[in-house]
Amino acid sequence: MLQERQKSCKERVREHYRGRVENMATLWRLYCKDPEASDPELGCWMEYGLGFDYVAPGTFGRQPRGYWRFQLSWGGPSDEFRFYCDENYQPTKIEYWFLDWYDGAKVSVTGKARGLLDEIWQDWRDCELPQEAKRKAEE
């Protein structure tokens, strides 16, 4: 019996990215109307994802630049959005990463998805979430 080859992260990343963006858009719209609102399958915005933190430069090999990570899942596979910002905490680049046991792939966030992520980021920035995450990482 032949074992089916598992697709690489590069082959799977776009499908996972689209699903995450759709889920986030649904929850974000609900949250903006009513912060207590939830979706029967997805839950509520405030409980979506595993964490938000700052990854300082040099944390991982060949990583010259720090970024903020909105981690959505962990293990095999895991996925996250990475926000690269200027000194005023404005995103200059946003990427979605899909990682699975010694393999990984990314998608640059553009178009409507970029607009959604920028809106979410501005809410976090107004609440000083990125600033606090960076302070914690630098302690």
Contact (Cβ atoms closer than 8 angstroms) between residue 68 and residue 52? yes
| Assigned domain for 79 exists | yes
CA distance 97 to 108: 9
In single-letter form, the type of residue at position 7 comes to K
State the virtual CA torsion across 78, 20, 53, 112 in degrees, nearest 10: 140
**What is the H or E stretch that residue 11 is in?**
helix 9-33
| Assigned domain for 18 exists | yes
List pLDDT tens digits, range 56-100: 998 888 889 999 999 999 987 999 999 999 999 999 999 999 999
Higher pLDDT residue, 63 or 108?
108
Q: Quick count: other Cβ atoms within 10 Å of Cβ 42?
A: 15
Q: Which two tokens stand for residue 16?
A: 């996972």
Contact (Cβ atoms closer than 8 angstroms) between residue 138 and residue 100? no
| Assigned domain for 3 exists | no
Given this model, what pLDDT does residue 60 score?
87
Phi, psi of 78 (to 5 degrees): -130, 160
Domain limits for position 86: 9-138
As for how many domains the chain has, the answer is 1
**What is the H or E stretch that residue 113 is in?**
helix 111-126
- How many CA atoms are closer than 13 Å to the CA of 21, on its beta-carbon side? 23
pLDDT at residue 1 greater than cutoff 80:
no
**What is the H or E stretch that residue 95 is in?**
strand 91-99
Q: Which two tokens stand for residue 67?
A: 């970024």
| Assigned domain for 105 exists | yes
CA distance 70 to 52: 5
pLDDT at residue 113 greater than cutoff 80:
yes
Given this model, what pLDDT does residue 109 score?
98
| Assigned domain for 1 exists | no
| Assigned domain for 123 exists | yes
| Assigned domain for 76 exists | yes
Statement: the pTM of the whole predicted model exceeds 0.75: yes
